[in-house]
A and B are shown apart, each in its own frame.
Chain A
């Protein structure tokens, strides 16, 4: 995988995101990426919390221009490379293929010297943030205690007990 250069040299007819113009298809793509990172288990996955729209909002509001470019270029790269590797669009591909592909990218990110491609860590970060701070994530996947009312410094923890939504 060669990251952003693939986009420059490629001649795919596939839709590419330009600037920060995310269309409905792009939101769907992000929903599926997020749902691959945090899938439905006994609690809903990231798609159920509208992770695609959340990620777009965060990229627009909190990322600087360089980060935005790295994100959009990276997303275009994923869309294109996934298709050329697996022969199908990411959206609609079998869940195992999607997970294997994203895990591969994340391994590449973790082991590469200059932490590339950045986009996979950005997707992880915003998916984890958006999911666990959402109402579903906080109240179903985690233990949301709005007003504890007391502090007990030492209680037993049993494997499987949920962590607190607010640390």
Chain B
């Protein structure tokens, strides 16, 4: 029996896959969108999104059962009783930590687009040029100007709020009106501007939370419960944004519970002809054919699929002829910064729960400065008044303590630094030859670490935060470093990088696999360097750009 056939298959339904499905269906292609996990329907399946605090069983605390069952998720904030079903279960989907590695995955329709931090920043020229200028890894095959129109295109549709700050290091985009700073932040930002004479900036964050309505989306209601799914469509997710657009074309088939084991490769045409799918519910293997395939399964899973493909020709899999498949693992190293308090704003407060904070764009190693490390870092943070969940040192129990806690506490501020990790060839992932997941697929082995460059950078990341807080008028300034394990930034990048030469890169400048031109990888795997900015907006832009290219190539019969 012939396989069911589509114009295009998209593997993965997160931020990148949702965009691929939207773009390809809107251009008239019949698209099969494969998702390894269950469906999550917009609004209907946001089961905890409107729960009042008193209906949350443990009021957000972790049970012993959760801690025992989730030895990996417990390493960070992600272990939460309200959205536990949306994080991949480590016992079903194990991985091997040859070096300590934290891997937080979202295995359901929408992937981590439901859960992401929504900070949406463009990369700049300095980011695309850095590898070439410094002789690190390989040069990006694209520059900012190649991606700029696509950033604009995806920003308009996704809905990014932000201020046009006019900074070269962090190009402005097509923004909806920014969310405001609070009184403390506003004054502090002014002091920073004056002190550093425009060399450092505290700007409003640019989240994919909409401050004006979009079709089918009401807009942000300032509940700050984004990671539970938003019934108002207040933030960009596959469900709120790209999936409805793809469905509306009538060209989309969405198939949940579909784990792609490998691509089917034809060595005569040097193209993939389809995908081999394991139905996660029935354990049956099914094959689907397509003219083009978009791998958007999240960086490491897209690479794992390539590693399992065409192993009769290349033992390391499709794309391994470069020697770089699985290599150059990147993330953002973080979990350190500074905190402080401030007096004098006791008569000021705010209304609403803003789902973003401030951003401090990179300021190191620019304009000729040379630190004892390459690249730089940015910060996320903000100021707020503490609430009932605080200590009141001078009070014990009884009515005075109760009354004190019913009023807002002191103002405090905190910033966390996010630093660039260089692409090191020896930071790699590979398929395990012994450990398998619940479905019998080879687990991934993680072997990545931060090195001298990042460790040197971390000193500045902490010290600069403290210096700026003092400059901005804060007191009791304390630095902190909670420690970082690779992957904890949940910004996995690299392992199938773009480049200019098939001998040293897996993908070309259009995200095509050099060894199979009808296979496109447009998620974090494609990143040639990491920059310091949150990466998802770049995946959106790369995906839309690659989809437009793919359809043109199909029309020209080049694929």
Write out the residue numbers on chain A whose beta carbons fall within 8 Å of the beta carbon of B516: none
B388 surroundings in chain A (CB, below 8 A): 128, 132, 142, 163, 165
Q: Is the CB of B387 within 8 A of A154?
A: no
CB pair B63 A151 closer than 8 Å: no
Contact present for B179 and A151 (CB under 8 Å): yes
Please give the distance in Å from B275's CB to the nearest CB on chain A. Answer: 43
> Is the pair B397, A61 in contact by a Cβ cutoff of 8 Å?
no
Docked complex Cα distance between A153 and B186 (Å)? 9
Which of chain A's residues has its CB closest to B345's CB? A157
Identify the closest chain A residue to B407 (Cβ). Answer: A163
| Cα A163 to Cα B402 with chains together (Å) | 12
| Chain A residues whose CB sits within 8 angstroms of the CB of B384 once the complex forms | 167
Question: A124 at the A/B interface (Cβ < 8 Å)?
Answer: yes
A62 to B81, CA, bound (A): 12
- CB neighbours (8 Å) of B385 from chain A are 163
Q: Which of A6-14, A23-31, A72-80, A102-110 contacts B (4 or more CB under 8 A)?
A: A102-110
Contact with A along B222-240 (1 / 0, CB 8 A): 1110000000000000000
Q: Bound state CA distance, A155 and B352, in angstroms? A: 11
Who on chain A is nearest to B225 by CB?
A: A166
Q: Is B398 within 8 A of A153, CB to CB?
A: no
Task: Determine if A153 and B180 form an interchain contact, defined as CB atoms under 8 angstroms apart.
Answer: yes
Q: Say if the beta carbon of B190 comes within 8 Å of chain A.
A: no
Q: Which A residues touch B401, using CB under 8 A?
A: 37-38
Instruction: Indicate if the CB atoms of A129 and B389 lie closer than 8 Å.
Output: yes
Asked if residues A138 and B54 are in contact (CB atoms below 8 Å), the reply is yes
Query: In the docked arrangement, what's the CA distance between A108 and B53, Å?
Result: 32
* Residue among B63, B388, B409 with max Cβ neighbours from chain A (10 Å): B388
B349 & A141 in contact (Cβ 8 Å cutoff): no
Q: For A134, list chain B residues within 8 Å (CB).
A: 54
Residues of A within 8 A of B346 (CB): 157
Q: Does A99 contact B (CB under 8 A)?
A: yes
Contact in complex: B398, A37 (CB < 8 Å): yes
In the complex, whether A85 has a CB less than 8 A from a CB of chain B is no
A113 within 8 A of B: no
Q: Name the contact of A152 in the complex, choosing from B56, B180, B397 (C-beta under 8 A).
A: B180
Instruction: Provide the residues of chain B in CB contact with A142, threshold 8 Å.
Output: 388, 406
Instruction: Tell whether A36 pairs with B389 under 8 Å between CB atoms, given A133-B59, A138-B53, A148-B351.
Output: no
Within the complex, which residue of B65, B221, B348, B403 is in contact with A61, where a contact is CB–CB below 8 Å?
B65
Chain B interface size band reads: 35 or more
Question: Are A62 and B64 in contact (CB-based, < 8 A)?
Answer: yes
* Of A133, A145, A147, A153, the contact of B181 (CB 8 Å cutoff): A153
Q: Are B64 and A63 in contact (CB under 8 A)?
A: yes
Check A124/B221 contact, CB under 8 A, given A129-B59, A138-B53.
no
- How many of chain A's residues have a CB under 8 angstroms from any CB in B? 52
Q: Which of B58, B62, B354, B406 contacts A163 (CB 8 A)?
A: B406
Contact A133 B54 (CB under 8 A): yes
**A36 to B398, Cβ gap below 8 A?**
yes
B residues 312-362 in Cβ contact with A at 8 Å: 346-354
Write out the residue numbers on chain A whose beta carbons fall within 8 Å of the beta carbon of B353: 148, 151, 164, 166-167
- Within 8 Å by CB of A124, from B56, B185, B224, B397, lies B397
The answer to whether B348 touches A155 (Cβ under 8 A) is yes
CB pair B350 A107 closer than 8 Å: no
CB pair A149 B54 closer than 8 Å: no
Q: What's the nearest-Cβ distance from chain A to residue B394, in Å?
A: 11
B213 at the interface (CB under 8 A from A): no
Q: In chain B, residues 18-69, which have Cβ atoms closer than 8 Å to a Cβ of chain A?
A: 52-54, 56, 58-59, 61-65
> A15 in the interface, Cβ–Cβ < 8 Å?
no
**Interface pair A150/B63, CB less than 8 Å apart:** no
Bound CA span A43–B402, Å: 10
Taken residue by residue from 115 to 150, chain A's Cβ proximity to chain B (1 for < 8 Å, 0 otherwise) reads as 000000000100011101111001001101111111
CB of A156 within 8 A of chain B? yes
Residue of B53, B58, B180, B351 touching A62 (CB-CB under 8 A)? B58
B183 is an interface residue with CB less than 8 A from chain A: yes
Question: Is A86 part of the contact surface with B, judged by Cβ < 8 Å?
Answer: no
Establish whether residues A153 and B182, one from each chain, have CB atoms under 8 Å apart when the complex forms.
Answer: yes
Chain A residues near B149: list those with CB within 8 A. none
In the bound assembly, the distance between CA atoms of A81 and B107 in angstroms comes to 53
A124 to chain B, nearest CB (A): 7
A-B contact pairs, 12 of them (CB 8 A): A37-B398, A99-B397, A138-B54, A146-B223, A151-B354, A153-B183, A155-B351, A157-B348, A157-B349, A161-B408, A165-B53, A167-B384
Known pairs A147-B223, A151-B222, A163-B406 / 10 extra A-B pairs, C-beta < 8 Å: A62-B61, A124-B397, A132-B388, A135-B54, A146-B52, A153-B185, A155-B350, A163-B405, A164-B353, A167-B387
Which residues of A approach B to under 8 Å, CB–CB?
36-39, 41, 43, 45, 58, 61-64, 99, 102-103, 106-107, 124, 128-130, 132-135, 138, 141-142, 144-167
9 closest cross-chain pairs (CB), A and B: A151-B352, A148-B352, A153-B180, A157-B349, A154-B183, A153-B182, A103-B396, A163-B408, A152-B351
